[in-house]
Structure formats: C-alpha cells, structure tokens
Amino acid sequence: MLAGTIRGRGDPVFVYREVRDLQAVTELAKSAFVIRRGDHTAATEWIERSVEQGRKLYGVYDGPTLVSVYMLYDYRMRFRSSVVPMGGIGLLCSRLDARGKGAVRFMLARSLETMREAGHVVSVLNPFDQSFYGKYGWEMFARLQRIELAPGLIRVPDDPGIEHKVVDLPYPDSASCDYYNEYAQRHHTLVQRGDAEWEQRLRIFSNQSNTATRGVVRVSREGKAAGLIGYDLSGKPDDWHPTFTANLFLYDDGAAKRALLRYLKGLSHQVKTIRVEVPTDEDLWPYLSDRPVKREIHDQFMIRVVSIEALDGLKVDADDVSLAVDIEDKLAPWNGGIWRLTVDAGVLRVERADRTDLRCGIGALSSILSGFTDCEEAIAAGLVEALPSYAGQDLPRTTPFLADYF
Ligand SMILES: CC(C)(COP(=O)(O)OP(=O)(O)OC[C@H]1O[C@@H](n2cnc3c(N)ncnc32)[C@H](O)[C@@H]1OP(=O)(O)O)[C@@H](O)C(=O)NCCC(=O)NCCS
C-alpha cells in the first residue's frame, strides 16, 4: 500500500499509512475518547488484542506525529442474499491539536482506497454523528431493538412431544459456531464469525468489572442445533440486580424460539432484568403477560458502497428490475458517473450506462442497496432526484441488523 500525501490548511503535510506504533495509537485514543485513567490498561489491552487478532490500524502523520487513526475490521457480511467482504471502521479519532485541519477527511478518502484494495465491497461504521459521516458517503443502515423485561413476564406454552436440550457454554462449541454461521448466511446482515469475532464478543476486559460472565446458550433438537443465545451476565457491586443481556437470539422455528424463552424464564430466581437485543422485525409480545419494562429502537450503523462495480453478481431477492443511476462520489471517484443496475433472475448486474433515471450521492444509493430504505422513500425525502425517464422501478426493503460491535 502506497502512502498518500496532501498539503492541508495551515500547511501540515499529511502522510497516510499503516500504523504499527500501538503506543502512539493508545495515547491518541486516550484523549480523543476521554478514556479515564482507571481504564488505560484495558484500552491498551484491547488495542493490542485487536491487532493480534488481525485488525489493522491506519493513520495520518504530520511529520513524525500520528494525528489521526482508525481500525479496519475485515468482516464477511450478508448483504441482500450474498455474503460479501465488508470493511468495518472503528476507533476513528484525531489528536486534539489537529482538529479541523482536514486529517480525518483525508484519512477517510484514503480508507476507501485501502478497503477497495482489500476487496471490501461495502464499509460499515457506528457513527458518533450521522451528519459527519453523511458528508463522506455513509448513510443509515442498521437498527437495534432492545427489549427489557423481568423474566417472570415471560409466558410460554409447552410444546408437547418436542424435546429440546439446552446447554450453557462459556465459549461456543463447533456445533454452536456452525449453527451461527449458517444462520448468519441466511438472515439480516449478520457477519460470519471466526475465533476473532467470537473472542471480541466474549472476552471480558479488565475494566468491565460489572460483567460476571459471557457465553452462549445452545438449544438442540434431535441432536441438531436449533437455536442460540449469546449473553452477558452482569451486576453492580452494591446492588443485587443481575442483568442477563441476550445479544444474540437466533432460532430455526417457533418451537426453538419458545425453548429459548423458557430458558430465559427459568432464570427468574436469580436474574432481575433480561435485555434482548434483536432486529426490529422481532416481536416477543405473544409470549409476554404484560408490556416489557422498556422497548427501545437505536439507529446504529451506517453503510457505504466501497465499489459499485464489485456489487456485480450480488444475489438479490427481488423481481426483475432495471434502473440507471448517476452517482456522485467525491471521496471514491471510481464509483462516480452513470451505472445501470439490473436485477435479472435474482442476480444484480452492474454496468456503465449513458442515460440515467436517477441522480444521487453514493450514500443514498448505499442505503437503498442495503435494503434499509427504497427509491420511493429516498426520492420523497429529497435524497435522490428522479429524472423524467424514471418509471417507479424499485428494490424491496429488508431489515438490516448486525449483532457485532466495532
Ligand atoms: C470527530 C473527529 C474524528 C473529527 O476530526 P478532525 O480532525 O476535526 O477532522 P477534520 O479536520 O478532517 O474535519 C472533518 C470535518 O469535520 C469538520 N469539523 C471539524 N471540527 C469541527 C468542529 N469543531 N465543528 C464543526 N465541524 C468541524 C471539518 O470542517 C470537516 O468538514 P469538511 O470535510 O466539510 O470540511 C474528532 O473530533 C475526534 O477525534 N473526536 C473524538 C472521537 C470521536 O468521536 N470519534 C468518532 C467515532 S465514530
């Protein structure tokens, strides 16, 4: 990867490259994320462990000084009906004395080149501010629904004749890992998990003093996995109020879902609060005797197409449709210009075109392609301009949902 340079305002000479000096990253992150002294060891541990697990750090230098940095995660994520390489951006920050000098804008443009070279088709991040990343082509993508309830509220009928075996594991066994990956290939926009992803979800760092344990609960029927919970069990020191957070709640069918709920109900003598983190299309109400204590929807991730051309061949669960889009993409000029997007027998074809039906930035198109929104809504909101040849062609919406954090 070649380093990129730019002369910015106030004449700093920016150089973009992979960062190997972890101490410089930790120092920068401490002030940018206001990491308190008591959490410094955990922050160092977390950065070191992330790099050991293959995550890469890239940053911008002004002379010898690291002025901004981000961590790149290499995921494989379900997108429409395919699983595609996705670049996850995390830990993005800049030095306090470098703010407003363009280092991060410069770094984000270079990050797109890095991701393109790495074969990432799309990029996802969890924004601190949507308008900040909106300027650079990321747009709304995935939401999280968090349902909070007391276990006693769960009311599940028996399933006579159907027997489930339930096992609680501190780390998923191969049956659980295989079950998860097969499920993730077919549902929402979940990412495939190998050891690095599982460890990231289950490792308890030294500053997470309220967490007692993490693990998975596997439900099997006739010797085969049929459901999975990923969990975090926590409690505060002077307050006997244990909370069980199910950060994965996956099942094959209604009987497996009820088996998972029976398990959660069975925790009622110990656990006071259950939090279930699920996609927005999940509903527990038929199995609750009253309203949950809380039900919140969080706007979580933003998405950006890294390479429109690399979407050629994507499987899309949609009727045949064809539309041409004139894309504006200042940060990734290879996406710019007019492209014809055609879904033919469930496969997306992407090719250059001369005449266009729609005009928009890469962000709005990314959100439409992800299924979070559609052309109709984006046109109505002024995010996409419809030209006279546009005849209402559209892609169906889906429910994007990611259960991993970065
Ligand atoms: C958010 C953050 C990364 C921006 O870094 P930065 O070094 O100021 O970024 P840049 O100088 O490249 O500026 C990027 C854009 O933000 C704008 N900007 C920067 N500081 C600003 C401020 N204080 N108020 C308004 N806009 C500002 C710039 O004008 C620029 O916009 P433009 O491209 O339209 O010109 C930095 O403030 C930071 O590290 N914050 C703490 C950590 C954090 O929240 N990270 C994000 C995690 S998702």
Q: Where do the structural domains in the chain lie, given as residue ranges?
A: 4-120, 151-292, 307-386
Strands 294-305 and 122-125: antiparallel
135 lines ligand 1 (CB under 6 A): yes
Token pair of 314, please? 């994507």
Q: What is the pLDDT of residue 10?
A: 55
For residue 142, count CB atoms less than 10 angstroms from its CB and return exposed for 0-12, middle for 13-18, buried for 19 or more: buried
93 lines ligand 1 (CB under 6 A): yes
Q: b/e map of 81-102 (b: 16 or more CB within 10 Å)?
A: bbbbbbbbbebbbbbeebeebb
Alpha-helix runs per DSSP H in 57-129: 103-117
100 lines ligand 1 (CB under 6 A): yes
Q: What is the pLDDT of residue 7?
A: 56
110 lines ligand 1 (CB under 6 A): no
Predicted TM-score (pTM) of this structure? 0.95
- Per-residue pLDDT for the chain (406 aa), expressed as one digit of tens each? 445 555 545 567 999 999 999 999 999 999 999 999 999 999 999 999 999 999 999 999 999 999 999 999 999 999 999 999 999 999 999 999 999 999 999 999 999 999 999 999 999 999 999 999 999 999 999 999 999 999 999 999 999 999 999 999 999 999 999 999 999 999 999 999 999 999 999 999 988 989 999 999 999 999 999 999 999 999 988 777 899 999 999 999 999 999 999 999 999 999 999 999 999 999 999 999 999 999 999 999 999 999 999 999 999 999 999 999 999 999 999 999 999 999 999 999 999 999 999 999 999 999 999 999 999 999 999 999 999 999 999 999 999 999 999 9
Q: How far apart are CA 179 and CA 167, in angstroms?
A: 14
Return the CATH class of domain 4-120: alpha beta
Ligand 1 centre to CA of 133 (Å) is 10
CATH code at 307-386: 3.30.1050.10
CA 384 to chain centre: 24
Whose C-alpha lies nearest to ligand 1, atom 2?
93
Ligand 1 centre to CA of 132 (Å) is 7
Whose C-alpha lies nearest to ligand 1, atom 7?
99
Whose C-alpha lies nearest to ligand 1, atom 1?
93
For the CA of 68, the closest atom of ligand 1 is 7
Q: b/e map of 30-47 (b: 16 or more CB within 10 Å)?
A: bebeebeeebeebbbebb
Q: How far apart are CA 40 and CA 12, in angstroms?
A: 30
Ligand 1 centre to CA of 311 (Å) is 30
Whose C-alpha lies nearest to ligand 1, atom 14?
105
Whose C-alpha lies nearest to ligand 1, atom 19?
100
Dihedrals phi, psi of 128, to nearest 5 degrees = -80, -20
Strand partners, 89: 72, 125
103 lines ligand 1 (CB under 6 A): yes
Does 151-292 carry CATH code 3.40.630.30? yes
Q: What is the pLDDT of residue 2?
A: 45
Strands 358-361 and 321-328: parallel
CA angle at residue 257 from 255 to 261, to 5 degrees? 115
For the CA of 103, the closest atom of ligand 1 is 12
Q: What is the pLDDT of residue 323?
A: 97
307-386 matches 4-120 in CATH topology? no
12 lines ligand 1 (CB under 6 A): no
Tell me the three-class secondary structure of 353-385, residue by residue. Answer: CCCCCEEEEHHHHHHHHHCCCCHHHHHHCCCEE
- The secondary structure of residue 105, as a DSSP letter, is H
Ligand 1 centre to CA of 104 (Å) is 7
Whose C-alpha lies nearest to ligand 1, atom 16?
100
Strand partners, 83: 78
Strands 337-344 and 347-352: antiparallel
